[in-house]
Amino acid sequence: MRTVFLWFFDQDRVASSCWTETYKAMSRCLQRLDVEKRRKADLIALSERIDVQGQEEAMLRPEQMNQLREIRAKEEDLLGQIGRLDDLVGSAGIAELAVFHPVDTIAKRLMSNQGSTKGKLAQVIFKDKATAPIGTKFFSLFPGLGYAAGYKVLQRVYKYGGQPFVRDYLAKNHGSTFDNTFGAKTGKAMMSSVAGSLVGIGEIVLLPLDVLKIKRQTNPEAFRGRGVVRIVKDEGFGLYRGWQWTAARNAPGSFALFGGSAFTKGYLFGLNDYNKASWFQNFIASIAGASASLVVSAPLDVIKTRIQNRNFENPESGFRIVSSMIEE
């Protein structure tokens, strides 16, 4: 006699369960942090006195100072874990997608355009919808939304969830090297920058989704009516075309993204623990990091986009694209 087990799962229930368990884990981290602080409440209160702040090493006994460092390290670890769990949910990626996908489409179409846009800007941005009503124009800026959703959520989970792990590894194994080379304050920011750069290079594993998104945004004819499964089957590793230029773009871009944010928190706001930044401080630091990333990565981003928007059967090398850009 044979027993057959039929497995079934409810997608909505699984998604809801995932969210619930993630927020439970975040809640437990906060509870653990509260317990740790209660255990050393007297010491924390002492360290927060106005006459002690900034002079802890002079005012506290060595054993008190060691306990304070231990508490702060635990606090940073727990708050960092909460941040990673928050990124894991991917809600930030979805919100970013809804707001910035049209802007990204415009940017990619402008990057793909060769020659002057004078007198034809609307045609470059809206393509065949250039003369359509404004509502139709707006919704024409959402091609490739499905690919973008997958890419953006996975990117945020990988990038913002992975960078803290790499940073913690560097701090644990090479922290003294950074401190001795750059100083304690700058060394901490440099660790965030280097960790971001390393994670950014690894982001090329998500390149196929980015390629499909860009083709939908700029050159939908390249699909020729094929679905994603058929394209993956036909093209295979061809979807990774231009990975070298992508890595070359991501390395300095992610270095500047995380480094700009870290330097802003450390030098502009004087924070020793970046996890204690307020909403406004995170907002300003994010602007600084994004602006720095844009400045250093924009030229390579143009090359990457032009490589990826080509027809599958008509690829073009990055160096040829650079040559064409110089001639423009």
- The per-residue pLDDT string of the chain (328 residues; one tens digit each, 9 = 90 and over) reads 555 555 555 555 655 566 667 777 878 888 888 888 888 888 888 888 888 888 888 888 888 888 888 888 888 888 887 777 776 665 655 666 677 889 999 999 999 888 888 888 999 999 988 889 998 998 899 888 888 888 887 887 788 878 888 988 898 899 889 989 999 889 999 999 999 999 999 999 999 999 999 999 998 888 877 777 888 888 888 889 889 999 999 999 999 999 999 999 999 999 888 878 888 998 899 999 999 999 999 989 999 999 988 888 778 888 888 888 777 6
Q: Is 59 exposed, middle or buried (0-12, 13-18, 19+ CB in 10 A)?
A: middle
Q: Give residue 183's region: left, alpha or beta (phi > 0; psi -120 to 50).
A: left
Please check whether residue 281 is in contact with residue 269, taking contact to mean a CB–CB distance below 8 angstroms: yes
Q: What is the pLDDT of residue 49?
A: 86
Q: 3-state class of 118 per DSSP?
A: coil
Q: What is the pLDDT of residue 10?
A: 54
Q: Which residues fall within 8 angstroms of residue 136, CB to CB, at 6 or more apart?
A: 129
Please check whether residue 292 is in contact with residue 257, taking contact to mean a CB–CB distance below 8 angstroms: yes
d(CA 101, CA 191): 31
Where helices occur in 40-144 by DSSP H, the ranges are 41-47, 56-59, 62-89, 91-112, 121-126, 134-139
Q: What is the pTM of this model?
A: 0.69
